[in-house]
Structure formats: C-alpha cells, structure tokens
Amino acid sequence: MKLKSRIYNGTLYVLLCGELDEHSASYVREEMDKAFGSGIFKQIIIDLSELEFMDSTGIGVLIGRYKKMKDRSIPIYICNPSSHAEKIFKMTGLYELMPKIV
C-alpha cells in the first residue's frame, strides 16, 4: 500500500495505491493524517484510481478522516472509485459524507 499527496490550487489531492484492509489501515491512517496536517487547502480529493482492493476496514479509516476534517470544515470528495469500491460506498452510505466527483 502506498499513498501519494500534493496540493494544487487550494486542493489536497491524495492518491491511494494498493490494497486497503486491516493490515494497511494503520499506515493509511497515519499517512493521511500527515498529509491532512500539512499545507493550506480548502478541500480534499481522494483519488482511488489505483486502489486495488478495499473492505469495510477502509470505510472505517475514511469515516475517521471525515470526522477530523469536519471539525476544520474541510470537505472530502472521492474520485475514480472502481465499481467494487463504489458498491461498498453505496451500501455503507459513505457518499453521504464524501460525495463522488467526476
């Protein structure tokens, strides 16, 4: 699992690469919090185009990040989910918290 991030035009872009499960969750949590805690940005876009697998542990990680950013009034958006990730997001209601953008 790898995570890449960059800030461009007031947006923090986070790219998740690999498999997000119980084994990688703590790494993703730490790296996301590092990225979320550095620089100035008004919104966050999480790019899932290179995410190969995710289960409900990933949902827990994302909801945890949402709660932290909600306190700072910074919205988080999801882009490029696989059809599989989309299925999990729809059934768990994650898009209610982190809308999908094209």
Partner 1 sequence: MKTNNFMEVKFKAESVNESFARICVASFCLPLNPTLDEINDIKTAVSEAVTNCVVHAYPKGEGDVVVRVELDANEVVISVSDKGIGIKDFKKAREPFYTTKADEERSGMGFAVMESFMDKVELQKNGDKGLVVVLRKRLKRSALTKQSC
Would you count residue 80 as binding partner 1 (CB under 8 A)?
Answer: no
CA–CA separation, 45 vs 23, rounded Å? 23
Tokens of 95: 């898009």
Would you count residue 59 as binding partner 1 (CB under 8 A)?
Answer: yes
Would you count residue 19 as binding partner 1 (CB under 8 A)?
Answer: yes
Residues 2, 4, 22, 50: which binds partner 1 (CB under 8 A)?
A: 22
Please choose, out of 7-15, 39-47, 53-61, 70-78, the segment that lies near partner 1 by the rule CB under 8 A: 53-61
DSSP reduced 3-state for 37: coil
Query: How many residues form the binding site for partner 1 (CB under 8 A)?
Result: 20
Residues 7, 17, 43, 64: which binds partner 1 (CB under 8 A)?
A: 64
Element (H, E) at 7: strand 2-8
CA–CA separation, 16 vs 18, rounded Å? 7
